[in-house]
Amino acid sequence: MPTLLITGANRGIGLELTKRYAADGWTIIATCREPQSAKALKDVRGVSIEALEVTDYAAVDALAQKYQGTAIDLLLNNAGIYGHRDGALTVSDFNTYLQVLQVNSVAPMKLALAFLPHLKAAKGGAKIATISSRMGSIAAGGGGAYAYRASKAAINAGMHNLALDLKSSSISCITLHPGWVKTDMGGAGADIDVATSGAGLKKVIDGLTLKDTGKFFNYDGSEIPW
C-alpha cells in the first residue's frame, strides 16, 4: 500500500485527512508536537505517530534518517499557525511574525527537501501537497494579517518553484486552500466543517497528475490565482 507522511496530524484538517487515508488502507506516518496528548490520533488504527516540531530542522533530518529506505508516495505539509490576529497597519509582535514564517513557509520546504530521497523512491511518481490559504493569493487582495498572508504567499512561491525543479523526477507538487474551516484556527463561525474540507482536499490530491504540478487549488478543485 502507498505511504503518507503528514504533519500536524493530531487535530483539525490534519486529523481528518489522516483518518481518510487510513480508511483507504494507506501506511501512515503521522507527526505532531505532543503525541502523548494526541488521543484522537492514537485512536486511528494502523498509524505510526512520530513526535516532531517542524521548525526543529535537526529533528526533521533525524526523522528522515529513521525512515531511510522507505518510499513515501505523498508528503502532506499540513502543520501551520496563524499568529496574532492583527488588523491593518498593525504587527503586534515581530518575533511572532518570524515564527509564523518559520512554521508556514520554511518548514514545508525543509520537509520536502529532507524527504526527497523517499519521494523519489516511490513507484509511479510521488506527490507533495502543502496546505496554504487563499489569504496568500496576491491577486485575491485583502489587508491586515500581514504575517499569515506573507507566510502563505512565501510557501506558494517556494512550492511553485520546487514543482518546476521536481517535474523531471515525476514528483507533483501543489498548494491547497482548505476553505474557511471550523477548526481551532478557523473558529466556529467558519463556512465549512472539517469533513467537507477533508473530502475535497483528498479528492484533489488523489486526482493530481504531473500536468497539475505547480498549481494552487481550492478544496473544491478550482484553481486559485497567485
Q: Please indicate, yes or no, if residue 225 is contained in any of the structural domains.
A: no
Q: Please indicate, yes or no, if residue 226 is contained in any of the structural domains.
A: no
pLDDT at residue 224 in the model: 97
Residue 49 · residue 30 · CB < 8 Å: yes
pLDDT at residue 132 in the model: 98
Q: Please indicate, yes or no, if residue 223 is contained in any of the structural domains.
A: no
Number of domains in the chain: 1
Q: Give pTM, 2 decimals.
A: 0.97
Average pLDDT of 148-157? Answer: 98
Q: Please indicate, yes or no, if residue 95 is contained in any of the structural domains.
A: yes
Q: Please indicate, yes or no, if residue 56 is contained in any of the structural domains.
A: yes
Q: Please indicate, yes or no, if residue 11 is contained in any of the structural domains.
A: yes
**Mean pLDDT estimate for the chain:** 97
Q: Please indicate, yes or no, if residue 224 is contained in any of the structural domains.
A: no
- Over residues 3-56, the pLDDT tens digits come to 999 999 999 999 999 999 999 999 999 999 999 999 999 999 999 999 999 999
DSSP state letters, the chain: --EEEESSTTSHHHHHHHHHHHHTT-EEEEEES-GGG-HHHHTSTTEEEEE--TT-HHHHHHHHHHTTT---SEEEE----------TT--S-HHHHHHHHIIIIIHHHHHHHHTHHHHHTSTT--EEEEE--GGG-TTT---S-HHHHHHHHHHHHHHHHHHHHHGGGT-EEEEEE--SBSSTTT-TT-SB-HHHHHHHHHHHHHT--GGGTT-EEETTS-B---
CATH classification at residue 197: 3.40.50.720
